[in-house]
Structure 1
Amino acid sequence: MRCMNISPVIRLRADSVVEGSPVWVRFKKLRPGEVRVWYKPVHVYGVTLRVLACKNLPGQTLSLAYQGHAEPALKRYALRWTAENMHQALKSRCFFLESTHLTQPARISTLLAVVALAFVWCWLVAMSEAA
């Protein structure tokens, strides 16, 4: 992947083995809101990467394997996560986009534009209520 100028950012399961032990063991004392970076590159699934973990306020831990610097890796993963959530919502969670059976490109384009606006609106409403 690196030869195409794409830096990998891979979410690690808690039981992923890094340096002979599960990744959760390395970050078990992480406090909510804290980001901890393991600066020494290690082998993860046969690739040399760095590892970081962060814990959100509800106490869920996110472990990532990445190349480069920690902050851009977290930002890239956040964008990816947002795109994955939107894709999942459009397909099966609430919009059921595949159920339309549209085949004409102009109609699909219009539908995608309207659904994308609706999705952003829902997201903005949810963010304003969470604040």
Structure 2
Amino acid sequence: MTGNGFPGSVIFAHLKVIESQVLSTRRWIWGRLVYVAGLRLDDGKLLIVISDDSPQTMIADYGRRWGIETLFGMFKTRGFCLESTHFLDATRLSKLLALLSLALCWAVKTGEWLHQHRPIKIKKHGRPSQSVFRYGLDYLRSLVTNLDLKHSEFLLSLQFLSCT
């Protein structure tokens, strides 16, 4: 509900794909007075964003934030399990983040190369079965765990590091 009794899906129902609207006045939502904006995504779904300030840039700000969330997801549960390290020393953590950043770039570059040669399968709902990052990471992991059998493929994959 957006404070006037109507759900956001009704208020923003008129939006066409990639069209957005910021409501002109603040609304009471969950006991807070906030700005509300809606964006119709390219898959037809509705994204509703609320914010205490910056009403004209809140959707763009959310987009940048989502990119950061995706990055943290790759560092943590969807990739490198960074949270399992339990590092407390800032210097060691900084070095680990630097190495993981290189590994992430390597996985993405590898995934892009793989996707050009063997495109990622698209599921029935229209989304890829996996991310480019995951595609590359899984491939690199298979090389490293089978170096005796995949030595030449591993050496080829090292070339992607020169692009990072």
> Corresponding residue for 1:46?
31
Tell me which residue corresponds to 2:7: 22
- Residue 109 (structure 1) aligned to one of 88, 91, 94: 94
Name the CA shift for 1:125/1:33 in 2 (closer, same or farther; >3 Å). farther
Tell me the number of residue pairs that the alignment of Structure 1 and Structure 2 aligns. 115
| Structure (1 or 2) with the greater strand fraction | 1
* Matches for 1:7-86 after TM superposition, within 5 Å: 16-86=1-71
The structure whose RCO (Cα within 8 Å, separation 6+) is larger is 1
Unmatched 5+ residue regions in structure 2?
113-164
**Maintained 8 Å contact 2:20/2:39:** yes
Q: Distance in 2 between matches of 1:123 and 1:79?
A: 19
Cα RMSD of the aligned pairs, angstroms, is 3.1
* Structure 1: unaligned runs, 5 residues or longer: 1-15
Distance 1:22 1:125 in 2: 44
State the one-letter code of the partner of 2:13. Answer: K
Work out the CA distance in 2 between the residues paired with 1:123 and 1:54. 28
Q: 1:126 to 1:70 in 2, by over 3 A?
A: farther
Percent sequence identity is: 28
TM-score by length of 1: 0.68
TM-score of the aligned structures, taking structure 2 as reference length: 0.56
